[in-house]
Amino acid sequence: MPEKNIYDLIIIGGGPAGLAAAIYAGRRQLKTLVLAKNIGGQMGISDQIENYPGFDFVTGFELAQKMFQQAQKWGAQFEFREVEKIISQENTFVITAGSGQEFSARAVILAFGLTPRNLEVPGEKELQGRGVTYCATCDGPLFKGKTVAVVGGGNSALESVEYLSKLASKVYLIHFKNKFTAVPALVDRVKTIDNVEFICCARVEKINGRNKLESVDLENIDDGPAKKKLALDGLFVEIGYRAKTDWLKDFVELNQSGEIISSRDGKTSRPGVFVAGDCSDSQYKQVVIAASQGAVAALQVYNYLVQKQGKKILPDWGKTRST
């Protein structure tokens, strides 16, 4: 039987945390595999990033591409797969991807970020991509001159309304309470837009349509509008993100929001398993913070492997030398 291919490190996630970790691990000459659904994660769909040091302005996709190429340059391998399971087996971790294929590594960095939250109402799943969507900047232009609604009350919801108001003929904002978590200046600005109508306080109860979205049923809350059907061509769900960690609950400690509990320097409750970026319990979810946590986690992995098996300490510029 051929010897199983064991990596020094498997990084789960291809956003800024995972990519930065891959760069650092590669430079330490760790045999590294990145298992990711995609490159960039939330960063990849950000229209503009203006707070990443060294860049006045960069699109999230461009920054992701640069990090991706940099990680490949330092030897990291990539597989575009969704991870379903992880177990600890003797001295290695065995990770199962969606296809059933298994990958093994001596250390793991969890860096898969956050996943958009669903409404979880009848009709949502059936009409995804048929009028129900989770990304205004991606799908907005497909709804030119149409009637759409945005669900949510945070910055991303209000920004989506503002953006869509320039494309669609009518934009409703459906929010379950009178208060918004979005910054007040943004809320005030959106309130003055002619083709925008706020529906407070209501909840989407059901999404209707055959093959494509036709309407939603609204359920009133408190003194909100009476129960009614709202005819729509598009429904943009912008109700935030969650850490999709159900599959890890018996593996590492999670907090109440399902985020992975991290020490200051990226350790989880399980030795050999580290965490970086938005899926950790770190308070601030920012690209530069995720990237720095990725670097920390990779260096932790290196130290862990050195201590555990006496892996030879190599300078991180070793790759550039001809020897």
Residues marked active site are found at 135, 138-139
Q: Which is nearer to other proteins, 164 or 213 (CB)?
A: 213
Q: Which is nearer to other proteins, 200 or 204 (CB)?
A: 204
Q: Does 128 bind other proteins (CB under 8 A)?
A: yes
Q: Which is nearer to other proteins, 130 or 189 (CB)?
A: 130
Two tokens, residue 299: 């260096």
Site string for other proteins, 32-61 (x = CB under 8 A): -----xxxx---xxxx-----------xxx
Which one of 5, 91, 99, 309 is in contact with other proteins (CB under 8 A)? 99
| Closest distance of CB 32 from other proteins, Å | 17
Q: Does 244 bind other proteins (CB under 8 A)?
A: no
Q: Does 139 bind other proteins (CB under 8 A)?
A: yes
Which one of 13, 152, 224, 234 is in contact with other proteins (CB under 8 A)? 234
| Closest distance of CB 132 from other proteins, Å | 8
| Closest distance of CB 143 from other proteins, Å | 8
Which region among 1-9, 95-103, 152-160, 251-259 touches other proteins (by CB under 8 A)? 95-103
Q: Can you tell me which residue has the tokens 């060294």?
A: 54
| Closest distance of CB 223 from other proteins, Å | 34
Q: Residues binding other proteins: what is the number (CB under 8 A)?
A: 38
Which one of 4, 82, 166, 265 is in contact with other proteins (CB under 8 A)? 82
Site string for other proteins, 183-222 (x = CB under 8 A): ----------------------------xxx---------
Q: Does 124 bind other proteins (CB under 8 A)?
A: no
| HEC-encoded secondary structure of the chain | CCCCCEEEEEEECCCHHHHHHHHHHHHCCCCEEEECCCCCHHHHCCCCECCCCCCCCECHHHHHHHHHHHHHHCCCEEECCCEEEEEEECCEEEEEECCCCEEEEEEEEECCCCEECCCCCCCCCCCECCCEECCHHHHHHHHCCCEEEEECCCHHHHHHHHHHHCCCCEEEEEECCCCCCCCHHHHHHHHCCCCEEEEECEEEEEEECCCCCCEEEEEECCCCCCCEEEECCEEEECCCEECCCHHHCCCCCECCCCCECCCCCCECCCCCEEECHHHECCCCCCHHHHHHHHHHHHHHHHHHHHHHHCCCCCCCCHHHCCC
Please give the Cα distance from 297 to 279 (Å, whole number). Answer: 13
| Closest distance of CB 134 from other proteins, Å | 8
Which region among 25-33, 122-130, 240-248, 263-271 touches other proteins (by CB under 8 A)? 122-130
Q: Does 69 bind other proteins (CB under 8 A)?
A: no
The closest alpha carbon to 150, from 240, 255, 271, 259, belongs to 240
Contact partners, residue 13, CB within 8 Å, separation at least 6: 34, 35, 36, 41, 109, 110, 111, 112, 113, 277, 279
Q: Which is nearer to other proteins, 139 or 281 (CB)?
A: 139
Q: Which residues bind other proteins (CB under 8 A)?
A: 37-40, 44-47, 59-61, 64, 68, 79-82, 97-99, 101, 128-131, 133-135, 137-139, 141-143, 211-213, 234
